[in-house]
Structure formats: structure tokens, C-alpha cells
Amino acid sequence: MPCAAGGRERRREYDTAMNHPGAEAQIELSGGEPGGRLTIAQDHVLRRLAAWPWREVRALLESSFAPAGPADLIPWLEVEADEDWVVLRHPRVPVISYPHEWCAEMLQQAALAHCRLLAALAGQGMALKDAHPWNVLFDGTRAIFIDIGSIVPLSTLAELDYLTRAQGRSGTALAGEVFRLMFLPYFVLPLAFHQAGLGHVARDMLWRYPLNGAGRHPRVTDYLRAARPRQWGRALRGLRRARRAAADFRRLCAELERSGALDAFASGLAALVGDLSPPRAESAYSGYYAAKGEEHAHDRPETWNAKQRAVANALDNREIRTVLDIACNTGWYSRLAAQLGKQVTAIDIDDACIAELYRRAGAAGEAIVPLVLDLAQPTPDRQRAQDGGLLLIGSERRLQADLVLALGILHHLVLGAGISLAEALARLAAPARLSLVIEFVGADDELVMKEPQFFKAFSRNPAGFAGFTLTAARDALAAMGWQVSVVSSFPATRSLLACNRKPTQPNSSLT
């Protein structure tokens, strides 16, 4: 709940926050303005902002949005203030994710969160000084607007350097200009190509050209060049859709300049975003669990197979609060973990599976953040183009969890991608703080033998994988400091390696 600073008591709270036992795990990010700073700790975030115009914004937020504020806006507490700066503290959203990892539905929801917030601000003489997807994180499947410093009085927009070309226009017209500069390239354009079935291209552009991380915004021509020749038909559909949306956007801006009705602009923008809803995609893996006869009801454990029971046993531990489900597919195990009260990050390279999990988890209100992410190609830290400060945190530092589930993926990394057994195990184990469950599928498995196209490294040189055995995997994990138990899986030809850190082994920390 928003509230203001309160003297020595707030100062003590701030000092405690900065010196709590988890302080060594803090991450400092470069602020979006000179002197700004973002400190991410284990359970909270400290955000340093210029005292003006924040004080004017705070007064409006407290008087207009009390007691709880807009539903999409992170709650904040002012813990330090002087003449020039204020420090706000707000809860840390459990999972840090970025737009290049979201399915289309998540990007769309982040866009709609901007529209709702702008509509709420419109009647209070306030607006947003930036409008891009990096303002948003997902708490479960709900989009949360986290960049409180983006909220400014309309009167201050005329002072922004990046709006100098539009000077002399009204404050409301400048608010529309902000959305033209940022919302159009970072929401509307990628959503148009998502709608055309080129989600992987849209995500690639958001990674290549993040705001403040590249010298310019992504352009339509970048999207067209990124599409492969066999995808040119879809790319042209994306181009046409993007042009129509841009024309609709220009009409909204023209009407905003005539009427000054920022709330009507926000409503029209929400309708435009709604028209960019992606089609319901499917892939060869969308029906994975049903095809294997494993789509059992989560509330009927008597129907579960040995693998499902073993994973449930691993989750039945009070120390396990967070779970990373690697190669989650449509998320049967992610949903099991969430229903057992865990905070789950679920990753898979299949966009359609992640979108399906997002819809299911959202409908059930489950604490799952599903991401399109390839463990074999983790994203590195990304620096700001202007000053070299840390802008985006690499995926390896963001994906830590108490328990890591790696089911049905090890054999694809080794027999398919040709990654060595030791390296593949190290990658799967790296994010695990306390426990790890890895499924072992041998080279003699029926699936491996029947579908060589998925296991190209093994098909080219079967003799080179003689060391890919359950014993070798168990010994390698033990050498990494894990206590390893071999547990029955399903089908019976497969096994699970259930691992817990040895008591003398300190927990790993990538942060």
C-alpha cells in the first residue's frame, strides 16, 4: 500500500534493508535517469529516484489511489528522502523475466497493464514518461507495473530530452508521443509478428534491440531480414498487420491532440492491443502428456505413475519454496508444484507449450511464470548502451530455485545436441540451491531408437556415447557434491536421479 516516509523509524528500516543477511546477494542495476539506482535484494527492491517530480507524484498517488492504488501497480514505501533524492522500497516480484522470454499472451497483458495504468492516471494530471515492456514483471501470470518512477505529472513531459522534437505541443499530446516512441516499436510491432506466427522473430528482436541496450529501436525491416525464406509469407502478413496497427495508432494520437482526452486514448490503445491477440498455436508437443497417457488429474494421486509420485515426494519438503521446471512442456509438474504451494518458474523452448501453460495457470490462479527459454543458450548480462551499467540480468543469475526439475531433457542435451554428459549435468544442476531431480533416459531407450531425428549426435556416432550411462550420471553428480538416490520412473526402463546437497556442501549462489 502506498505510504510516505516517516522520520527515524523509516531510516532504521532502510538501514536494516541495506544490511540484512542477504545483502551479499544484492544486484545493482543502472537507473533510467542520471543518478538513479535500482538495488535488488532477496525479498525487496530499493529504487532511488529524483525527489522532484516524485514528491508531486506521491501526493497525487496518495490522494487519488488510496487505499490500495491501481491493481497493476507495485505497492511502495518511501524509506529515505533528502532534498535531492528519495528511496522507495517495494516487494521483489519473485521471478525476474524479460519480454524476449514471454509468449505472445504475456506481452499482450503487459501492454494492457500500461493502458489500464494510463487510464487511471489520466484524470489526475499524470501520465507515463516511458511505455515499454521492461516496466513490467509477472507475479505468477499477472502483469505488475514495477517502474514507479515512470509516473510523472503531465507538465514535466515537456522537459524530457527524448521529446524535444515534439516541443510546443500540449501535455496530453506529449503523452501520446511517449507511446509512439516506445509502445509502438516494443509492443505493437512484436505483437503484430506474433499474430502472424513469427513469435520467435519477435522475441529475437526484443533481445537484440532492448530499450537503452542498443543504439536504436527495432524496425520492420529487421523483422523481415530475421525471417527465413520459407517464412516470408508470414513475414509479409506481419508487415501488413503492423502497418494497419500503426495507422490506427496515428489516428488515436491525432484524436488525442484534438480532444486532450487521455483516458479515451488509453481506451483506444487497449482496443488496438486487443485486436493483436495471437492465434492459439499448437505444436507437435502440445499433446505430449495426453499422448503418453500421463495427463492424470492432480487431485487424484491414486492414478499417478511412478515418476509423478516420485516428483511429488521430492516436492513434499517445507524447505522447498521455489521450483524451476526445465523443459516443462505444458506444465503437468509445474502445476503440481504450484498446487503444493511452491513458486514456480517453468521454461521450455516450445512457444505453444508455454502459451498453453500460461493460459492454464492463469485460469487456475497458480503461481507459475512460464518462459520461452533455451537452457542450452542462456542469455548473458546486458549493459546499457549509454553508460555500460547493468541493464538486464543474465538468465543464469535469475533462474535459481530451491528445487530444479529436469525431466525428459538430459538425453536431448547429450544425445541430441552433443553436449558432454558432465557439462549437461552441470548446466541442469547450476540453478539448484537444495535439491535436484534429473530423469535419465538411456541410449537404448525405445524413443531414442525410433526417432533418430531428435538425437542427431547419437545417430551420427553411437559408439561415441558408450559412457552415457546411469552409473556415470550418478557418479558425476556425486562428484559435484550431491547425495544421489536412484528412483524408479515411468516407463520402468527410465530412472530418476533424486539429489540433495551434502550437509558439508555450501549452497551454490549465482547472484
pLDDT the model gives residue 257: 93
Helix (H, G, I), strand (E, B) or coil at 276: coil
What is the phi/psi pair of residue 283, to 5°? Answer: -135, 180
Band (pLDDT 50/70/90 cuts) for residue 294 is confident
Instruction: Find the mean pLDDT for residues 444-450.
Output: 91
Q: Please give the grid coordinates belonging to residue 419.
A: 553436449
CA 300, 306, 311, 312 torsion: positive or negative? positive
pLDDT on residue 69: 59
Confidence of residue 504 (pLDDT cuts 50, 70, 90): low
User: Which residue did the predictor score with more confidence, 9 or 259?
Assistant: 259
What's the whole-number mean pLDDT along residues 171-192? 96
Question: When comparing pLDDT for 227 and 60, which is higher?
Answer: 227
Instruction: Answer yes or no: is pLDDT of 370 > 90.
Output: yes
Fold held by 288-501:
Rossmann fold (3.40.50)
In this structure, the dihedral spanned by the alpha carbons of residues 269, 275, 276 and 281, taken in order and rounded to 10 degrees, is 150
Paired sense of beta strands 343-348 and 368-372, if any: parallel
Please, which pLDDT band fits residue 65 given cuts at 50, 70 and 90?
low
CB atoms within 10 A of CB 129: 24
User: What single-letter amino acid sits at 99?
Assistant: P
The answer, yes or no, to whether residue 282 has pLDDT greater than 90, is no
**Is residue 300 over pLDDT 90?**
yes
Question: What would the DSSP string read from start to end of 425-490?
Answer: HHHHHTTEEEEEEEEE--TTSHHHHH-GGG-HHHHH-GGGGTT--HHHHHHHHHHTTEEEEEEE-S
Contact 54, 60 (CB under 8 A): no
Lowest model confidence (mean pLDDT) among 8-17, 307-316, 375-384 = 8-17
Q: What is the DSSP letter of 3?
A: B
Domain 7-91 fold is Phosphorylase Kinase; domain 1 (3.30.200)
pLDDT of residue 377: 84
Packing angle of the helix pair 351-364, 104-122 (nearest 10 deg): 50
CA distances from 388 to 186, 213, 250, 382, 385 (A): 22, 9, 34, 9, 6
